[in-house]
Amino acid sequence: MKKLLLSAAILFGSLGAFAQGGLGYGLRAGVNIPKYSTEIDQTKSNTGFFVTGYLDAPISPYFSIQPGLSLQNKGTKWKPTDDQREAKESIMTLDIPVNAVAKFPTTSGNFFVGAGPYVGFGLSGKYKGEDNQSKFENDIKFGSEAGNDLKRTDFGVNFLAGYQLSNGFQINAGYGLGLTNLSPNGGSIKNRVWSIGIGFGL
């Protein structure tokens, strides 16, 4: 975790020096609609949230690099089975995205689209549900060994688009495509996250 934050700090500092005073800042927050992609269709969308702080390092008036730190609420809902009713898995992660963003100016602001990789680090998680006998709630165990629930580190690609007004207010939408198999017990579990939110950029 400390290495992850140190790497982010070095990246932010390097981009700040590169931008030579043209560095911008921003904050985005909103609703996540996550689910897991699995080998068999056992999941459906959950509801969560995200809060993202980012830097905007301009390469030109129409293009910039945006690294960020993002608190993400991910997870899924598991569909009912014969011996269990619907269950909910809620995961908190700290993601570090680095997006390449193109900007298209208009008279009142600019449209923007972007994409880039992210690395995510699982912080905590809960698994809640109800079987035929009782309700239950368990903490998610992170690790790569068999017997754990999820691997802690995720890697993927995210996409974003939106519109920012001249005063800095913006609306945005995004999609996170997890590429890491998070299952330590065989099979396949990968993150899929839609998001929509608002933000402000300087």
| Assigned fold of 1-201 | Porin (2.40.160)
Q: Higher pLDDT residue, 7 or 173?
A: 173
Distance, in Å, from the CA atom of 173 to the CA atom of 114, rounded to the nearest integer, reads 11
| The predicted structure's pLDDT at residue 187 | 87
pTM score, whole prediction: 0.85
Q: Does 20 have pLDDT greater than 60?
A: no
Q: Does 50 have pLDDT greater than 70?
A: yes
User: What is the largest distance, in Å, between two alpha-carbon atoms of the chain?
Assistant: 63
| The predicted structure's pLDDT at residue 15 | 47
Q: What is the pLDDT of residues 60-94, one digit of tens each?
A: 999 999 999 999 999 999 888 766 677 899 999 99
| Cβ neighbours of residue 187 closer than 8 Å, sequence gap 6 or more | 38, 39
| The predicted structure's pLDDT at residue 113 | 98
Q: What is the pLDDT of residues 90-129, one digit of tens each?
A: 999 999 999 999 999 999 999 999 999 999 999 999 999 8
Give which of 42, 48, 38 is closest to 193, Cα–Cα.
Answer: 48
| The predicted structure's pLDDT at residue 82 | 66
